[in-house]
Amino acid sequence: MVGLVKYSLKRTVGKKLLEEEELRTLISEVQNVVNSRPLNFIPDSEQIIPLRPVDFLIPYEEGNSEFPHLPKADMEDPDYRPQKKTNKEELVEEIRKASDRINKFWEIWTAEYLLALRERKNNIKKCPSAENPPKAGDIVIIRDDETKNRGVWKLGKIEKLLQVNVPL
């Protein structure tokens, strides 16, 4: 997992030199992406709720993967350092660049992560007793290329499997 994140970060940033604040922001967003991925679902629930790494770190309300609301900065705090003043256009441009970087990371990471899951599954298949093909009642992630919101792919339950003969 660490290698996958490092690879995706390297491809996202490339040879660009990021300022410290830009790098901190990117790392925080990457942390949110990685820790919000579904690991499994909770079968005892009426709804299909994915179990995610962040649920162990910071228990959020049901199904919420947004960052918690942080308190306003304390101006009286001696360690508080206000950001340098900038105009609206510069702030909008910084937000756009940060959003572009995390979207690029998301595209690279999801493609590599899904590939790693497939490769892991193929390695497990070498041991016939460990093979676990999908069956009715299983919970699966439904890939949606049209979804603009990262990490919000829906979970679905397999109701019926269709038998299709595909030539190898």
Mean pLDDT, the chain, as a whole number? Answer: 74
Under a CB-based contact definition with an 8 Å cutoff, are residues 141 and 118 in contact? no
* Spatial CB neighbours of 163, under 8 Å, sequence gap ≥ 6: none
116 alpha carbon, distance to own chain's centre: 14
**Higher-confidence position of 127 and 137:** 137
Rounded Cα–Cα distance for residues 115 and 146 (Å):
19
Query: What is the structure's pLDDT at 134?
Result: 78
Convert the pLDDT of each residue in 36-82 to its tens digit: 887 775 566 666 677 777 777 776 555 444 444 445 556 566 665 65
Query: What is the structure's pLDDT at 65?
Result: 46
Inter-residue long-range contacts of 158-163, CB under 8 Å, 24+ positions, other chains counted = 158/134, 160/136, 161/134, 161/135, 161/136
Convert the pLDDT of each residue in 18-42 to its tens digit: 888 888 988 988 888 888 887 775 5
Query: What is the structure's pLDDT at 165?
Result: 75
29, containing H or E segment: helix 20-35
Check residue 26 and report its DSSP letter: H
Query: What is the structure's pLDDT at 105?
Result: 87
Convert the pLDDT of each residue in 79-92 to its tens digit: 656 566 567 777 77
